[in-house]
Amino acid sequence: MLPDSITKVTDHLMKFPSMGRRSSQKIALQLLEQGEGEFQELLQDLVKMKQEVTFCSVCGFFSKNSQLCEICGDHYRRDTLLCVVEKPTEVIAMEKSLVFRGKYQVLGRLISPLNNVFAHNTGIPSLIERLIENADQKTELVLFLQPSFDADATTAYIREKIKELGLEDKVNISKMAQGLPSYYNIDTLDQDTLAKAMEGRIKV
Domain count for the chain, please give it: 2
At 20-76, the pLDDT tens digits run 999 999 999 999 999 999 999 999 999 999 999 999 999 999 998 778 999 999 999
Residue 154 is inside which H or E element, if any? Answer: helix 149-164
Compute the distance between CA of residue 108 and CA of residue 54 in angstroms, rounded to an integer. 13
Q: Find the CATH number of the domain harbouring 79.
A: 3.40.1360.10
pTM: 0.84
- Residue 178: what pLDDT? 53
Q: Mark whether 79 and 29 lie in a shared domain.
A: no
Listed range (2-11, 73-82, 183-192) with the worst mean pLDDT: 183-192
Q: CA nearest 74: which of 59, 55, 93, 84?
A: 59
Same domain for 194 and 107? yes
Assigned domain for 45 exists: no
Query: Are 23 and 99 within one domain?
Result: no
Distance CA(204)–CA(143), nearest Å, equals 9
Instruction: Decide if 65 is inside a domain.
Output: no
Contact 101, 81 (CB under 8 A): yes
Looking at the domain assignment, is residue 64 inside a domain?
no
Contact 101, 199 (CB under 8 A): no
pLDDT the model gives residue 101? 92
Domain that holds residue 141: 75-203
| 194 in Cβ contact with 184 (< 8 Å) | no
Q: Is the four-CA dihedral 155, 157, 158, 162 of positive or negative sign?
A: positive
- Which residue pairs, CB below 8 angstroms and at least 24 apart, start in 85-91? 85/144, 85/145, 85/186, 86/110, 86/145, 86/146, 86/151, 88/55, 88/60, 88/61, 88/62, 89/187, 90/144, 90/186, 90/187, 91/61
Count the neighbouring beta carbons within 10 Å of the beta carbon of residue 201.
18
Within a domain: residue 61?
Answer: no
Residue 122 has pLDDT above 70, yes or no: yes
Higher pLDDT, 6 or 200: 6
Inside any domain, residue 97: yes
pLDDT digits (tens, 9 = 90+) for 136-190: 999 999 999 888 899 999 999 999 999 999 999 999 999 876 555 555 666 667 7
Position 111 scores a pLDDT of: 96
* pLDDT for 1: 79
- Do residue 79 and residue 169 come from a single domain? yes
Residue 5 has pLDDT above 80, yes or no: yes
Domain match, 99 and 168 both: yes
